[in-house]
Amino acid sequence: MRWVWIDRFTAFEPGQSATAVKCLSHAEGHYAEHFPGFPVMPAALILEGLAQTGGILVGEVNEFREKVVLAKIPAAKFHRDAVPGEMLTYTVRMLNLSPQGAVVEGRVTCGDELVAEAEIFFAHLDQNRSSQAFGDHNFVFGGELQYLLGMAKLAAKPAELPPAAT
Amino acid sequence: MTQEDIFGKVKALLVDALSVDDDEVTPQARLQADLNAESIDFLDIVFRLEREFGLKIDRNDLFPESIFSGDPKFVQNGKLTPDGLAELKSKMPYADMAAFEKDPTFDKIGDLFTVDLITRYIHSRVGAK
């Protein structure tokens, strides 16, 4: 399974805010277990998508040189279930940013309805002297997330998009 | 803003940051030993203070890290030397050192991080604005 829980960015304002969408598909394996006969998007995976949206917002500030890891979720509220067939919109706004870490506030909506909201706290691993333990390789912003990083940049600079092929 | 007003706001944000009951947050409460704060919580607290009081706070100003780096001039046999105590006082001018000075054991430095330390720090910053 690809551990990417957002499908694309729809807005990206560096250092300020980001919006991404996630389409929920019945083909995702977790619905078989969560729950049999009653498929519901697991709340933890909704938070993961929100954290990926926020993590990329935070990482982009330092051009993805820092290892940005989810350190703490001080508050999270879930207002209703999300089910296959729906499209979730993850919106995050930067609350604080420092050399050691960052906090974002996030909202998850489906159309006009509020699905969840959370505050997510990220730490910069390098700034907390963990590089000895984790090495220099940036395991956070590598591989599969590269695709989304490109999408985030495209969302940030729509004017520079090449014209669509016809 | 009085020290009492500041304490009320500090208390509310510590309740949110550390998921503790508000009667646990007394001025003397130690962030780690009494309120179970972990290292990452200190940065969370700094961010909340910045938002609540509209300040820019350097984490090391309020919660200094690695003050002595194992320097024998400052720490010997697990205790702070007079030079070490002077250094600590200069790095943590808002801490209440009275009890610590009687038994300046290195491992007890964490006990200086109290709710009162935060209140005094903010009072000095807000007054200085």
In the residue annotation, A34 being an active-site residue is answered as yes
d(CA B92, CA B113): 10
Domains and CATH numbers, chain B: 1-63+113-129 (1.10.1200.10), 65-112 (no CATH)
Over the stretch A29-43, which tens digit does the pLDDT of each residue have?
999 999 999 999 999
What CATH number does residue A113 fall under?
3.10.129.10
CA-based nearest distance B23→chain A, Å: 19
Residue A163 lies in a domain: no
Token pair of B116 as six digits: 């009162």
Please report which residue ranges of A37-101 form alpha helices under DSSP H: 43-61
Nearest residue of A to residue B44, measured between CA atoms:
A121
Q: What confidence score (pLDDT) does residue A104 get?
A: 98
d(CA A14, CA A59): 10
Please report which residue ranges of chain B form alpha helices under DSSP H: 3-18, 39-53, 59-62, 82-91, 98-102, 115-128
Q: What confidence score (pLDDT) does residue A129 get?
A: 55
Over the stretch A137-146, which tens digit does the pLDDT of each residue have?
676 776 666 6
Q: What confidence score (pLDDT) does residue B62 get?
A: 93
Q: What is the pTM of this model?
A: 0.84
Whether the pLDDT of residue A90 is over 60: the answer is yes
ipTM: 0.82
List the domain range (segments joined by +) for residue A129.
Answer: 8-155
Residues of chain B with pLDDT under 70: 128-129
| Number of structural domains chain A divides into | 1
3-class DSSP state of A72: strand
Contact B40 A123 (CB under 8 A): yes
Whether the pLDDT of residue A22 is over 90: the answer is yes
Nearest residue of B to residue A72, measured between CA atoms:
B40
